């Protein structure tokens, strides 16, 4: 599909391993306003988890990258949420919990209430400090929700 080859040092998770997690945060690039085919194919491989609903009640979140500001980060979330819903997973959006950073208008910024994001451009742009702060916030916020759901102090 034109994607670069995978690096050997990047771990790959199998669908069966999803059930072992306390929560799941999925991140991927947008493809014409939707999740990429590779993520859809991965989720299509989770039927052994779906039938017995082994992911039901598990918190899940999303984050994205897109080629431009109008690149479809919100529509990508809306199409990806269907995968979570069919598994009975609990979608945990970041909402507007990031505060003033959500309303920043002075710089190019990815992300939305659905999840943090970055604008990748042609691939040479790196996330801004603000985008990284939002990503850290989303991870911390999500971990807090996951701990509450698990009943951990």
User: The tokens 């984050």 sit on which residue?
Assistant: 63
For range 69-87, the mean pLDDT: 93
Residue 10: predicted pLDDT: 85
Residue 139: predicted pLDDT: 98
Whether the predicted pLDDT of 29 surpasses 70: yes
DSSP 49-118: HHTTTTTTT-EEEEEEEESSTTS-HHHHHHHHHHHHHHTT-EE---TTTTGGGGG--SS----BTTB-EE
Q: pLDDT tens, 81-111?
A: 999 999 999 999 999 999 999 999 899 899 9
List CB contacts of 69: < 8 A, sequence separation 6 or more.
108, 110, 119
Which carries the bigger pLDDT value, residue 16 or residue 5?
A: 16
**Where residue 1 falls among pLDDT bands split at 50, 70, 90?**
low
Residue 6: predicted pLDDT: 77
**Where residue 7 falls among pLDDT bands split at 50, 70, 90?**
confident
Q: Confirm if 88 and 56 have CB atoms less than 8 A apart.
A: yes
User: The tokens 């017995």 sit on which residue?
Assistant: 52
**Residue length, the chain?**
153
Residue 136: predicted pLDDT: 98
Whether the predicted pLDDT of 77 surpasses 70: yes
Distance (Å, rounded) from C-alpha 63 to C-alpha 59? Answer: 14
pTM for the structure as a whole: 0.91
The domain locations on the chain are 22-149
- Superfamily of segment(s) 22-149: Flavodoxin domain (3.40.50.360)
List CB contacts of 122: < 8 A, sequence separation 6 or more.
67
Residue 91: predicted pLDDT: 98
């Amino acid at each position: 599909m034109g994607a670069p080859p995978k690096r050997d040092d990047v771990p790959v998770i199998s669908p069966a391993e999803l059930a072992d997690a306390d929560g799941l945060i999925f991140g991927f690039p947008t493809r014409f306003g939707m999740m990429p085919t590779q993520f859809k194919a991965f989720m299509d491989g989770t039927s052994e988890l779906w039938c017995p609903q082994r992911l039901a009640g598990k918190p899940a979140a999303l984050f994205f990258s897109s080629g431009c500001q109008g690149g479809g980060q919100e529509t990508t979330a809306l199409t990806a949420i269907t995968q979570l819903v069919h598994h009975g997973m609990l979608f945990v959006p970041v909402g507007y919990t990031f505060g003033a950073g959500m309303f920043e208008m002075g710089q190019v910024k990815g992300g939305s209430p659905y999840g943090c994001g970055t604008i990748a451009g042609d691939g040479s742009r790196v996330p801004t400090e603000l985008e990284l702060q939002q990503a850290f916030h989303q991870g911390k916020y999500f971990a807090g929700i996951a701990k509450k759901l698990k009943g951990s102090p």
